[in-house]
Amino acid sequence: MDYDLSATESELVEKIKMLVADKNLPEPETLEKAGPGQIAPVLRAWLARLGDAGYLAEQAGPGRLAAQTELARRSSWIALAADIGARLLCDLISRHGSPEQKMFIDPILQGKSIAAVAASEPLSGSVPKTLETQARKDGPGFLLSGSKSTVSLAPMADVIGVLGRIGERTALFLIDGTQAGVEFGERLDTLGYKELCTCPLELRDVRLEPERVVGPFDPSEVDLLQELRASWDRALTGVACGTMRLCLDQARASADVKRTHAKPPAGYQSVRFALAEMLTLSQTAELLALRAAWAAATGDRGAASLALCAKVFATENAGKLADKALQIMAAAGYSQPNPVERAFRNAHLGTIMGNTSQVARMDIADDVLQKVGEA
């Protein structure tokens, strides 16, 4: 047993701390109203530095999670964008791709390539057999057609992993955003994470060489959608931990300096207690998330359920902390731009993406019921 980060794990965390403090990197937090053309260079600069630091290639585990927390504390959308490529897409390719297909991974992990993943469809969420995006054979390759409803980073992506079907089997299709037949819909006006430029994606007979198709798989043996949700869960858990730290930082700073009725808010017990509750939830969430990351990395038998517990706890409490921070900051918290107002909006993605809080709770309970049944 060891509750400390190892030397290697701490080293990565320190690298990220130094990186986020680097004034030479472009400011990532004023881009909500910018277009993909302005956002992409900022993201590329950050991804390149994260690649150089070894962050993108780092295996999942407590060290990676602790580093992600520090990154998200500075910028949650950069942390999420980094994971969409390095974790969501690369994990699928590395698990199921051929050795040749793994060439798609290197540029992403080196921070040289922006990646997106397209899964959700207008009429399909989480069940593979309902995916309507289909590829049909055409000579040596395939023609891919379908609609995806919400694809984050799509207009900026160099490579987009599209989940679809070949007949009854599921596959991951690696497309180039500039290919003929690829059309991006109008950018969605999302509540938060506007920097991710989420938009619909239309695919009309997009031609794919065989090496750009990972799979196909029998969905009863390989559930790509479930794997993707689990990756989202891990990404969102770490981001939520960073969001909590950010909210606590901001609330504390505000409580110490602002003056209300001749004393700062921190002079009032109710404000101090609110801060204490925020710290308690933040520390508890981080510890649970670290344990879940460790369990997943070591193949612990309770890892899947623990990951869901960590995801629900961290993402829901990130929203609560943002709410408390905003309350402490009062009008300043309610005004734009400020990081807490942004965190308040962004945090809601955490309980929606991957396994929603509701789905996660059902899975957690099913796991408990199964264990009782086995006992």
Partner 1 sequence: MDFAFSDEQLAFKEQVIKFAAREIVPRCAEHDLKSEFDRQAFRRLGEFGILGLHFPEELGGSGADVVTTVLAGEALGEAGVDGGLMLSYGAHTFLCADTIFAHGNDEQRRRYIPKLASGTLIGCMGLTEPGAGSDVAAMRTRAVLKGDRYVLNGSKIFITNGPVADVAVVYATVDPEAKHAGISAFIVERGTAGFSAGAPLHKMGVRSSQTSELFFDDCEIPQENLLGAEGGGFPMAMQTVEWDRSALMAPFVGGMSYALMKCARYAQERRQFGRPIAEFQAIKEKLAAMKIFLEAARGLVYRIAWCKDQGRPLNHLEAAVAKLFIGDWSLEPANAAMSLMGGYGYCHEYEMERMFRDGRLAPIGGGTSEIQKMIISKLM
Residue with Cβ nearer partner 1 (9 or 58): 9
The interface region with partner 1, picked from 147-155, 180-188, 272-280, 343-351 by CB under 8 A, is 272-280
- Stretches 51-59, 152-160, 225-233, 278-286: which one binds partner 1 (CB under 8 A)? 278-286
Q: Sign of dihedral through CA atoms 154, 160, 163, 167?
A: positive
Q: Verify binding: residue 284, partner 1, rule CB under 8 A.
A: yes
Nearer to partner 1 (CB atom), residue 220 or residue 270 = 270
- The nearer residue to partner 1, 21 or 372, going by C-beta atoms, is 372
Query: How is 73-128 classified by DSSP, letter by letter?
Result: HH-HHHHHHHHIIIIIIHHHHHHHS-TTGGGGHHHHHTT---EEEE--BTTBSS-G
Q: CB nearer to partner 1: give 115 or 296.
A: 296
Straight-line distance from the first to the last Cα atom of the chain, in angstroms, rounded to the nearest whole number: 27
Stretch that binds partner 1, among 78-86, 151-159, 291-299, 329-337 (CB under 8 A): 291-299
Q: Which amino acid is at 177?
A: G
**Residue bearing tokens 């993943």:** 117
**Which of 273, 330, 335, 337 lies at the binding interface for partner 1 (CB under 8 A)?**
273
User: Judged by CB, which is closer to partner 1: 63, or 333?
Assistant: 63
Site mask, partner 1, residues 63-102, x = CB under 8 A? x---------------------------------------
Choose the binding region for partner 1 from 95-103, 148-156, 165-173, 287-295 (rule: CB under 8 A): 287-295
Residues touching partner 1, count (CB under 8 A): 51
Binding status of residue 369 toward partner 1 by CB under 8 A: yes
CB of 224 to partner 1, least distance (A): 25
- Report the site for partner 1 in 227-256 (rule: CB under 8 A): 252
Q: Is 291 in the site for partner 1 (CB under 8 A)?
A: yes
Could you give the CA distance from residue 312 to residue 114 in angstroms, rounded to a whole number? Answer: 28
Looking at residue 198, its amino acid is T
| Residue 11 in tokens | 């080293």
| Spatial distance between the Cα atoms of 285 and 279, rounded to a whole number of angstroms | 10
Under a CB-based contact definition with an 8 Å cutoff, are residues 358 and 308 in contact? no
From residue 305 to residue 334, the character string flagging contacts with partner 1 as x (rule: CB under 8 A) and all else as - is xx--xx-xx---------------------
* CA angle centred on 204, ends 201 and 207, rounded to 5°: 110
CB of 92 to partner 1, least distance (A): 26
Candidate segments 21-29, 56-64, 144-152, 338-346, binder of partner 1 by CB under 8 A: 56-64
- For residue 290, state whether it binds partner 1 (rule: CB under 8 A): yes
With beta carbons less than 8 A apart as the criterion, state whether 128 and 170 touch.
Answer: yes
Q: Nearest to residue 107, comparing CAs of 83, 90, 119, 84?
A: 90
Q: Which has the closest alpha carbon to 48: 108, 116, 112?
A: 112
Report CA torsion sign: 48, 50, 52, 58: negative
CA distance linking residue 321 with residue 71, whole number of Å: 18
Helix (H) / strand (E) element for 142: namely strand 141-151
The footprint of partner 1 (CB under 8 A) covers 1-6, 9, 61-63, 252, 266, 272-273, 275-277, 279-281, 283-285, 287-288, 290-291, 294-295, 298, 300, 305-306, 309-310, 312-313, 358, 360-362, 364-369, 371-373, 375
